[in-house]
Amino acid sequence: MQQLGYSLDAVNLRDVFEDNDAIHLVMELCEGGALLERIESHKYSEKYIARLTRSILRFISQCHAKGIIYRDVKPDNFLFLRHDDESPLKATDFGLSIRHWPDEPKLTSRSGTPAYMAPELVLQSYDEKCDIWSVGMLTYQLLTGRFPFWEDVRTQTLSDVWKAILTQDVNWNALELKQLSPSAVDLLKRLLQRDPAQRPSAFVALEHPWLSEDGRARDLPLQGSVVQRLQRFSTFGHLKQLVLKMIVDEIQDEGKQGKAPASRKARAALGNLQDLFNELDTDSSGAITLEELSAGLRRQGYVLADNEIENLMRRVDFDHNGTVDLSEFITTLMDWDQVQAEQGWQVYLDHAFRKMDHDGDGYISLDELLQQLPPLRPAPGVGSLAQVVSDAAAALGFSRGYDGDAERLAEAKLMLREADTNGDGKISREEFFDLLKESHAPDSLSFYDDRLAITTDGRTSAVVGQQNRQPAAKL
């Protein structure tokens, strides 16, 4: 879950405690129940099911972009945050997930729930495309109330289930009886291809028309993609986040000193990000508080729970002082893929490496990483969610296992492991540069939930707000 970062499409891990007998995970509370329970007790429109499928595919896209195969897509593993029909859906239970990149040998261990297993997983030679088949099985079930091969899988033996997955034709007649749209049927036929090479990636599947026919705006302006950008940035490792923050500081210094920028695109983006920062910083203090972030996001049409906003804030607050300054804000929302495409990117990386390599020996050591870390996170405020969790754990006799300096040391070790690919206990220049390269998989903003309200005419509230801010024409 830490590798995935903070995603609004997954249940958040809030804290970890331990006692003499067990490790206890404090998870985000999802009161709306499991997807399985809701689909068994309600009938939903095709449009609503498209929204659920989009949420599931977004989550799978995020996993695959980080080299994670989920391996257990099924309705039991997706929970609703609230009881209402507009509640977001969140993935849980990472017990069967595994790290695997596309260029690595196929996996061979069977894992998952039999009814949702892909043919190649049954045959024990598979990659991330097995998740795509499982999404197809689940979407078919949501649309028809049955499985593609059986009315009720509980009447089947395990060997019968696997035989059907490998050889039996999908019951497309059930889709005709439900009078589903041709677009929905088309997506299912793509997801349920027995040959994994013929299946789309999660990224490509998200672009299917059926998943965008509810009026979701494409290519949202900056104001309409803030929550997506916050989520995407949280998926970066701590060391990568720290280096990007150092680069932003250098870009800002270039502007103050009147120097020519190494990255013209980065310099050009600063103006728009400064304007958005000023919109959120309503008291003009130079820092955005949790209250200002919450009010600003909701003012721009985002629909988020209080704890979700607090979690997003924690990922942006680098120095743990409870507010977000301009440098932190820019680092989080910058289009880094565009900056990386410029030649000046290598200049910034070289400067960052030399700043962290204090003794100039050509390597970054654990001690040098420790020197880069911000001070310890201050004690949580009275009445905050963090304080409530901490007090409840203490009352039960649980502890975090390490605190204070040990916590900083553990974070530094994670940062070292993030880049030290050869395991020699230090980060070379080559490893450092590799860390900051683009990921193995595309990482589009469309992978993340925008959490924008939709107006009655099908436009997102961010687009409406953007249009409303345009000056009126002079008569």
Contact between residue 434 and residue 240 where contact means Cβ atoms under 8 Å apart: no
Q: How far from the centroid of its chain's Cα atoms is residue 384's Cα? A: 24
Enclosing H/E stretch for 18: strand 13-18
Contacts for 204 with CB less than 8 Å, ≥ 6 apart: none
What one-character-per-residue DSSP string does 416-442 give?
A: HHHH-TT-SSSEEHHHHHHHTSPPSS-
CA triple 82-85-88, angle to 5 deg: 55
Nearest Cα residue to 66 out of 16, 10, 114, 20 = 10
Contact between residue 54 and residue 206 where contact means Cβ atoms under 8 Å apart: yes
**C-alpha to C-alpha distance for 332 and 55, rounded to whole angstroms:** 23
From 9, 19, 72, 405, active-site residue: 72
Amino acid at site 80: F
Which two structure tokens, joined as six digits, stand for 1? Answer: 């879950």
**C-alpha to C-alpha distance for 317 and 215, rounded to whole angstroms:** 34
Q: Is 319 a catalytic residue?
A: no
Enclosing H/E stretch for 325: strand 324-325
Sign of CA dihedral 365, 368, 374, 376: positive
Contacts for 280 with CB less than 8 Å, ≥ 6 apart: 288, 292, 293, 296
**C-alpha to C-alpha distance for 293 and 105, rounded to whole angstroms:** 45
Active site (catalytic) residues: 72
